[in-house]
Structure 1
Amino acid sequence: MKKLTSTQIENQLKNLDGWTYENESISKSFIFKDFKEAFSVMTRIAFEAEQQNHHPNWENVYNQLTIKLNTHDAGGITQYDFDLAQSIENIVGNN
């Protein structure tokens, strides 16, 4: 997959509420009711990521989940990252 330009990235970010672009990654933090809810969402994201064969960099501390996406093989952001970010938004929104 081809690496996106900064302009392409900024345009696509307009469709993802709260996601930011920094250090060749797009990222967002989510806050949940408690650890159990955060871990439940992480599990659903993990299954989706595996299906898309595109895996996030993430960190979980109690009820907070921070996700960073980039495509290592392309050396930056690709459409894969935006596809997974949209899937993540759908999962979190259905929580």
Structure 2
Amino acid sequence: MSTPLSPRLTGQEKEEALKPLLSNGWTVLKDRDALYKEFAFVNFNEAFGVMSRVALLAEKIDHHPEWFNVYNKLKVTLSSHDVNGISSRDVKMATFFDKASKTQ
């Protein structure tokens, strides 16, 4: 088995890393170790713009979100499948989602 790109966050490390995200609307799913947030934009163009910016980061860091989009709504789940939980890559991606969504 190959070494994971980022180890799973646990304990105090996880608590500290997630604190700013949880205060910004992200939640940890009850049924799996994953981050979740729903975004609402003015229109499809704004939603797609954020998705496009995130897609560029996803390719760069080889970490791809689970997402569902209908018109101006975007539902995002982030989890590192190679460690079956939340890693620093998920924190980085969630932070980027928040920044990208505010530039609209």
1:12 equivalent to 2:12? Answer: no
Question: For structure 2, which runs of at least 5 residues remain unmatched after alignment?
Answer: 1-5
Flag the 1:6–1:26 CA change in 2: closer, same or farther, 3 A.
farther
* Long gaps (5+) in structure 1: none
Provide the rounded CA distance (Å) in 1 between the counterparts of 2:91 and 2:82. Answer: 15
Question: Which residue in 2 is equivalent to 1:42?
Answer: 51
2:39: which partner in 1?
30
| Alignment-mate amino acid for residue 82 of structure 2 | D
2:83 matched residue in structure 1: 74
In the aligned structure 1, how far is the partner of 2:14 from the partner of 2:77? 14
SS in 1 for 2:63: coil
Q: Percent of aligned positions with the same letter in both sequences?
A: 40
Q: Is residue 59 of structure 1 aligned with residue 68 of structure 2?
A: yes
CA distance in 2, matches of 1:58, 1:24: 16
Structure 2 residue identity aligned to 1:14? K
How many positions carry a matched residue from both structures?
Answer: 95
TM-score (norm 1): 0.90
> How far apart, in 1, do the equivalents of 2:13 and 2:68 lie?
26
- Helix, strand or coil for the counterpart of 1:12? helix
Instruction: Please give the alpha-carbon distance, in whole angstroms, between the structure 2 residues aligned to 1:62 and 1:77.
Output: 28
Larger Rg: 2
Q: Secondary structure at the match of 2:82?
A: helix
